[in-house]
Structure 1
């Protein structure tokens, strides 16, 4: 049985400190099949908001870094198929894509809120077998119990830490693993003392 399926959450292990995009990331998988896997990083906010590119009245729809592939393209997941046509159902009330013109209209009408949709520049993609190989190398842990409200959290910088806590006691050590910047500082301090 395939251990990966759409709707899964990938939680990056702390060992991915050398990877700027995926370090401490939480990725929501929107597609998985014989041609590969597609997903979006949920917890890497960009400095951009939707109103910087499109004619929308609210200015609080943040855009996230979805991954390293096609970073000049905009993607979105949402929970409102009732007002956004042509969406693909991922599972658990979450949908991918749809009629973008309707999205802009519904935002401006006040019918679509930030806790119902999330925008991404770029996506995360794996060729056939690539993600499975990364799982074998313990680069990721799979989780499948995320709820829609967690996907659309506006301040999701702490999402990685929150998801680690749901994995069980054996993973709690990860939370205290230093980030790359901290490790670099420690190495520099050690180097300074060793040369004196």
Structure 2
């Protein structure tokens, strides 16, 4: 019998290193309501730890239902992660026009002056096409994320800004896996629960 020189359960190419602007894509059997088949945008990664937001888990709430004085906003509220789930954060493509915004990718920014953003939305200068709201965030202590990557819980990759900001998130985990090549494409066929095979 010939031994194969690859394992479909482990990536064949070296992972990128985690850094702001890159994404974490969950391996197919990672469980839990927050991280099962999730894509997490890393917004901060340094000696203090890692911060990111789950991009593909929406709620049944809308930001204008929970944000005081926000007149109308068509986009859903997304689940950013399990940390501080009673706080709101946002990603946007409005650039440095929002005071205090931090650039994460060429066109995606994190945070900034919330009252300024709210005025932009209320005045029709920003919408769900340019802003994505999150309840909570994902956080890792120093070294914790690297340990999870070493255990093959996550694949570090990149994602274009359109997929980062889209509201149509139902199949984004599968799309992200397929973009990475054949081995990862096979992962999309694995059952959510490994007991179901």
Alpha-carbon contact 2:88-2:136 (below 8 Å) kept: yes
Query: Structure 1: where are the runs of 5+ without partners?
Result: 188-196
2: CA distance between counterparts of 1:153 and 1:168? 22
1:137-185: per-residue Cα shift (whole Å, max 9, x none)? 00000112x22221111121211011001110011111111124xx67x
Tell me what 1:7 maps to: 21
Aligned-residue CA RMSD (Å): 1.7
- Are 1:116 and 2:116 an aligned pair? no
Alpha-carbon contact 2:29-2:192 (below 8 Å) kept: no
TM-score, normalization: structure 1?
A: 0.87
Alpha-carbon contact 1:79-1:95 (below 8 Å) kept: yes
Runs of 4+ in 1 over 4 A off after TM superposition: none
Alpha-carbon contact 1:12-1:26 (below 8 Å) kept: yes
Query: How far apart are residue 115 of structure 1 and its match?
Result: 1.8
Q: What is the total number of aligned residue pairs between the two structures? A: 181
Tell me what 2:120 maps to: 106
Larger helix proportion, structure 1 or 2?
A: 1
Corresponding residue SS for 1:14:
coil
Query: Structure 2: where are the runs of 5+ without partners?
Result: 1-15
Alpha-carbon contact 1:37-1:126 (below 8 Å) kept: yes
Alpha-carbon contact 2:73-2:128 (below 8 Å) kept: no
Counterparts in 2 of 1:59 and 1:93: CA distance versus 1, 3 Å:
closer
Alpha-carbon contact 1:115-1:149 (below 8 Å) kept: no
Q: Which of 143, 152, 160 is the equivalent residue of 2:157?
A: 143
Q: Which of 24, 30, 33 is the equivalent residue of 1:20?
A: 33
Tell me what 1:46 maps to: 59
1:83-126: per-residue Cα shift (whole Å, max 9, x none)? 31111111212111111111111111111021211110000001
2: CA distance between counterparts of 1:138 and 1:15? 10
Larger strand proportion, structure 1 or 2?
A: 1
Counterparts in 2 of 1:90 and 1:59: CA distance versus 1, 3 Å:
closer
Tell me what 1:190 maps to: none
